[in-house]
Each structure stands twice: as C-alpha cells, then as structure tokens.
Amino acid sequence: MVISKEIYDELKARLARHDAWAAQYVQKTGWTVIPADAVPPAGADISNDERSSIEVYEFCNDIPKAYFLYISQENHDAHTWTGEHLGRASFGREFRDNFGGRRVPVTVKAINGRTYHGTFFKSAGDYARVRLAKAEGGA
C-alpha cells in the first residue's frame, strides 16, 4: 500500500535524523556498524517496515529507470526486501550463464503503472535487476 505524501514527509524526516545520528558509526570501510546497545535519539528511530514504505512511495512517485527488487516465483510477486508488493512478475525460459548460474528473464507489471524487463538471478537468491521498458521511456 502506498502511503500519503504527509506520512512520507514525516518518515523521510525521521530517516534523515536517523542517518545523521548513525553517521558517527561509519567505519573506514564505509560500512555503518551500530552497536547493539546504541539507542537513537527521540524522533530518529525508524523501522524496516517504515523504510520499505518510503521505498514504495518513491517507486510510485519518482519512476525509476532501473530497479533492484525481490521475486517470489511461487506467487509471481515482485516486492521490496520486507515483502511490500511492487508488481506482478511473469517469467521467460530459464537459462544457464557461463558460470553455471541459473537466470530467468522477467517482466514486471509494476504498481507504478510501468513495465520493467530484466533478469531474475534464480540460483543466486530471490532478486532481480530490472529496467524500464523502452516503450515507456527506458533505455
């Protein structure tokens, strides 16, 4: 479900406060490692579900040309990493890459009204990389 603009703005502000607080934990490697006992200040806490709601809102309102999403092959669902629905997936014929991995062409009819085509990396996990269809402004 897509959240309202007001909720989006409030969540984005909380995420910005959280990211500012978390910046103190950025390692030399670029990874952010927050200690288990660290507590963000009031107004800077944000859940993974809320982060996913931000992602869905942006997916619908700022149409991406390329996207990384997850696929549930059993029920043909394209979704965020927390499981929020992004579209309906249909699959082509599975093939093997040069390293023995299994890949499947995928088409996603997205909730933002656009069509995306790409590759479902079946043997590597449940993710796909997709691009906006050329007929809809993709490259």
Of residues 139 and 86, which shows the higher confidence score? 86
Confidence of residue 139 (pLDDT cuts 50, 70, 90): low
CB atoms within 10 A of CB 14: 19
Q: In the predicted model, is pLDDT for residue 75 greater than 80?
A: yes
Q: In the predicted model, is pLDDT for residue 2 greater than 90?
A: no
Rounded-to-integer distance, Cα 112 and Cα 129, Å:
17
Per-residue confidence (pLDDT) for residue 124, from 0 to 100:
83
Tell me the pLDDT of the chain averaged across its residues. 92
Per-residue confidence (pLDDT) for residue 30, from 0 to 100:
94
Q: In the predicted model, is pLDDT for residue 123 greater than 80?
A: yes
Per-residue confidence (pLDDT) for residue 101, from 0 to 100:
87
Q: In the predicted model, is pLDDT for residue 138 greater than 70?
A: no
Q: Using the Cα atoms of residue 117, residue 122, residue 123 and residue 126 in order, give the sign of their dihedral.
A: positive
Rounded-to-integer distance, Cα 139 and Cα 133, Å:
7
Domain residue ranges in the chain: 5-36+43-59, 64-136
Per-residue confidence (pLDDT) for residue 135, from 0 to 100:
78
Q: Which residues on neighbouring strands pair with residue 69, listed in sequence order?
A: 128
Rounded-to-integer distance, Cα 78 and Cα 69, Å:
7
Tell me phi and psi for residue 89, to 5 degrees: -105, 140
Segment 4-36, tens digit of pLDDT: 999 999 999 999 999 999 999 999 999 999 999
Structure tokens given for 82: 């927390």
